[in-house]
Amino acid sequence: MNSIKKKWITTGFLKTLISESKKNKKIIVLDADLSDDAQLYEFKKKFPDRFIQNGIAEQDMVSTAGGLALSGLLPVVNSFSSFLVSRANEQIFNNSSEKTKIIYICLYSGIIPAAAGKSHQSFRDISLLSNIPRIRIFNPFNFFEAQEILKYCIKFEKLNCAIRLNLGSPPNNKIFSKKFKFKPGEGTILKALGNHGLIITYGQYLINEAINAVEYLNKERLKLTLVNLSSLNFFSHKWVKNISRKYKKIFLIEDHYKTGGMSDQFINFLVEKRISTRLQIKKIALNDFPHCGEPQEVLKIHGLDKNSLVREIKKFI
């Protein structure tokens, strides 16, 4: 395995995919010619008869996966999130209506890397997937969580799973090589400095910006807590109730479009379950098409880099 990519999210995912596939012969991987970015050729090498190269034909690939699932197999469908989830959305919906289980790999989720531009950045997928019944959306924030989430999806989850994977090397912070316990529907506290406010976000890029913001604000005696929420469209009632008791101000941050993302799912959950009305919530998300550029300049222009987050948080607290 490529040593440069040792602790990438995609590498963790691949390792578990291979180890689980050794045990579970029902796992079949389908790809729309974008397997290199997830290093899925390693899977193909190990299980050539369980890898279907479907060409750049996402709709056909997803319906084919539907046929495999109807036959009792467990298809793992791979493409870039922006193509898979939007172009083949109706096929995903149709498969789901058959009450089978399929795992969708939503590669290259979010707006970073930003060099390819809006055709490739995926910032609508949570919204597009979450209005399909029987599907759970995840976004691991590091190598280890990618392994935990995939293991959970293969072994325990009964519904369809969409696993968003960030592309690129992990940011330079120890937290990305640390193992945290993954519980479906619950967030993990990555930094607990106090209860002036709670930041909820996901994905390696935004977690990194948020950590830097939390650490910076700490010096200014603003004590915040940072939570990684890798379950994006379903939440543990107990967990949400618990955190909403502890914090008055919540920041929901994501590099997804402002409608239909994790924030909206979370806010809807609070309303639906009638959880505390005294919460003050600040949502920070995309308001328009994402820009193309270097990661830091794009995060900055969308108000998602450390400095912008610091500014917004100070204003709100």
Partner 1 sequence: MRIFFFKKKNFDDILKKKISNLKKAELIALLHRVNILSMIKNSGSGHIGTSFSALDLMIWIKFFQFKVSKKKILNKDRHVFFSSKGHDVPALYSILFSLGLISFNKLLRFRKLFGLEGHPDIDTNGIESNTGSLGMGISKAKGISWAKKYLKVKGYVIVLIGDGEFQEGQIFEALQNISHQKNKNLIVIMDHNKVQSSDFVKNIINLGNVKSKIKSFGWNVLRINGHDFKEIDSAFKRGIKIKKKPLFIIADTIKGRGVSFMEHPSVMEKYKKYIWHSGAPSDDFFKIALEELFEKISQSYLKYRISLPKVVTINLKDKSLTREKIIEFH
Residues that bind partner 1 (CB under 8 A): 28, 49-50, 52, 54-55, 57, 59-73, 75, 90-91, 94, 97-99
Contacts with 191 (C-beta within 8 Å, 6 or more apart), sequence order: 211, 214, 215, 224, 225, 226
Indicate the residue among 159 and 275 with the shorter CB distance to partner 1: 159
Q: How far is the CB of 58 from partner 1 (least distance, A)?
A: 8
Indicate the residue among 53 and 280 with the shorter CB distance to partner 1: 53
Q: How far is the CB of 35 from partner 1 (least distance, A)?
A: 16
The whole-angstrom separation of Cα 250 and Cα 225 is: 10
Indicate the residue among 94 and 188 with the shorter CB distance to partner 1: 94
Q: How far is the CB of 67 from partner 1 (least distance, A)?
A: 2
Q: How far is the CB of 75 from partner 1 (least distance, A)?
A: 8
Indicate the residue among 46 and 311 with the shorter CB distance to partner 1: 46
Indicate the residue among 89 and 139 with the shorter CB distance to partner 1: 89
Question: Is the CB of residue 136 less than 8 Å from the CB of residue 106?
Answer: no
Q: In what order do the strands lie in the sheet with 51-53?
A: 51-53, 27-31, 74-80, 103-107, 160-165, 135-138
Question: Is the CB of residue 244 less than 8 Å from the CB of residue 279?
Answer: yes
Q: How far is the CB of 65 from partner 1 (least distance, A)?
A: 6
Contacts with 304 (C-beta within 8 Å, 6 or more apart), sequence order: 206, 209, 253, 255, 284
Q: How far is the CB of 119 from partner 1 (least distance, A)?
A: 19
Indicate the residue among 54 and 228 with the shorter CB distance to partner 1: 54
Q: Which two tokens stand for residue 68?
A: 């495999």
Indicate the residue among 92 and 199 with the shorter CB distance to partner 1: 92
Amino acid 133 reads P
The whole-angstrom separation of Cα 172 and Cα 231 is: 24
The whole-angstrom separation of Cα 164 and Cα 72 is: 24
Long-range contacts at 241-245 (CB < 8 A, ≥ 24 apart): 241/273, 241/275, 243/187, 243/198, 244/270, 244/275, 244/276, 244/279, 245/276
Indicate the residue among 46 and 99 with the shorter CB distance to partner 1: 99
Indicate the residue among 98 and 297 with the shorter CB distance to partner 1: 98
The residue behind tokens 């995309």 is: 286
Q: How far is the CB of 73 from partner 1 (least distance, A)?
A: 5
Q: How far is the CB of 57 from partner 1 (least distance, A)?
A: 4
Q: How far is the CB of 74 from partner 1 (least distance, A)?
A: 11
